[in-house]
């Protein structure tokens, strides 16, 4: 599974499941959005996770399961078991790693077995990671994974489109791997330890209020087993979870339950279709804050929004709108999606074979 295929599914409701395996990480990168560290604690109960993934059926399953953390490869045996359980139902599995193991000359056996069982493997790379795991070591490990037959990508993060680090690192990936390694380029956000670097980050652009939110498409299993509707880190960490973003808990619910709640919620349908700011404006009559994610979390305190969404998106029309907007975003291609939610200048590197010449430099 290539990165463009993975990102192409991102706007499709319930096409994927994000799983935070652990908050622990051997690295202590200054920009970490999850505030992970070698001593951090927290992670879903493994038995609950395996039971939840075991509830996938051939006709009712996510197309892809994305494992993340913290550092998910601190749990290679669990990764293998989850990958095998997902594959038994027809789901593919991807994983994002901070590459702590790349400091060794060879990838340790248990970790390599976990990686080669995946359908896609992604490595985080940025100036903060490089202080702990040098780029050359990451490239060496990625070459070994490619040679073993697993598709790979690089998740590259910088302060904005003018960041010289992004230009240098993207060009270096292209120089070493050519079209074999696509890139997903994001911009630093003030979350977790990254909040201390907020002065270095370019503020998120203020877009039109009518902005469909694909980030509310895939359910997220958080560090305590709670399942939420959004991957924004503040939502992942918020307790209590805003009511319209709470989908369940893996100790009590299975995949069909979570999928049904995600697809059946009128508020989530409209968040995905027109965006939270437009939703706020439509049913409260007052301008929304410019922060999309903050506006979304605040919808839980606006009963008029829930009532209005239920009236207009609670029936077949809401189902159609949800599907229609998702298909339009999917038809626009993965680069269009990355251009909205990542770093637009480098968005087409998500599919390097079709990237513009200026992005290849």
What are the structural domain ranges in the chain? 3-226+333-360
Query: What's the confidence (pLDDT) of residue 175?
Result: 95
Does residue 194 surpass a pLDDT of 60? no
The Cβ of residue 314 has, within 10 Å, a number of other Cβ atoms equal to: 16
Q: Residue 360, preceding bond cis, omega within 30 degrees?
A: no
Average per-residue pLDDT in the chain?
Answer: 90
Place 34 in a pLDDT band, splitting at 50, 70 and 90.
confident
Radius of gyration of the chain (CA): 20
Name the packing angle between helices 266-274 and 316-332 (round to 10°).
30
Do 38 and 25 contact (CB within 8 A), yes or no?
yes
Kindly tell me if the per-residue pLDDT of 35 is higher than 80. Answer: no
Say what the pLDDT of residue 190 is. Answer: 60
The matching CATH number, chosen from 2.60.40, 3.30.379, 1.20.1250, 3.20.20, for 3-226+333-360 is: 3.20.20
How would you classify the pairing of strands 226-228 and 246-249?
antiparallel
Stretch 299-323: mean pLDDT: 95
């Amino acid at each position: 599974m290539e990165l463009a295929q993975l990102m192409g599914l991102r706007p499709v409701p319930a096409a994927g499941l994000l799983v935070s395996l652990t908050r622990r990480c051997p690295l202590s990168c200054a920009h970490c959005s999850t505030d992970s560290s070698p001593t951090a604690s927290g992670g879903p109960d493994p038995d609950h996770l395996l039971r939840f993934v075991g509830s996938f059926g051939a006709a009712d399953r996510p197309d892809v399961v994305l494992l993340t953390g913290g550092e998910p490869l601190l749990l290679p045996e669990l990764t293998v078991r989850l990958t095998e359980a997902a594959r038994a139902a027809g789901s593919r599995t991807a994983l994002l790693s901070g590459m702590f193991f790349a400091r060794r000359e060879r990838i340790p056996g248990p970790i390599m077995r976990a990686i080669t069982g995946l359908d896609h493997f992604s490595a985080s790379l940025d100036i903060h990671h490089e202080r702990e795991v040098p780029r050359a070591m990451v490239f060496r490990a990625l070459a070994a994974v490619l040679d073993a037959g697993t598709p790979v990508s690089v998740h590259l993060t910088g302060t904005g489109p003018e960041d010289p680090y992004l230009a240098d690192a993207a060009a270096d990936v292209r120089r070493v791997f050519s079209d074999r390694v696509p890139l997903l380029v994001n911009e630093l956000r003030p979350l977790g330890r990254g909040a201390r670097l907020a002065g270095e980050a370019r503020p998120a652009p203020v877009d039109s209020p009518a902005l469909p939110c694909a980030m509310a498409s895939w359910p997220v299993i958080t560090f305590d087993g709670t399942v939420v509707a959004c991957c924004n880190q503040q939502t992942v960490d918020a307790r209590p979870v805003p009511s319209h973003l709470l989908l369940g808990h893996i100790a009590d619910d299975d995949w069909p339950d979570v999928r049904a709640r995600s697809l059946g919620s009128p508020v989530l349908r409209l968040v995905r279709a027109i965006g939270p700011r437009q939703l706020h404006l439509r049913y409260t009559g007052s301008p929304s804050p410019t922060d999309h994610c903050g506006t979304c979390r605040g919808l839980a305190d606006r009963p008029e929004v829930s009532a209005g969404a239920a009236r207009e998106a609670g029936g077949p029309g809401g189902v159609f709108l949800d599907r229609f907007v998702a298909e339009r975003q999917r038809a626009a291609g993965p680069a269009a999606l990355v251009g909205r939610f990542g770093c637009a200048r480098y968005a087409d590197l998500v599919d390097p074979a079709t990237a513009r010449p200026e992005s290849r430099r």
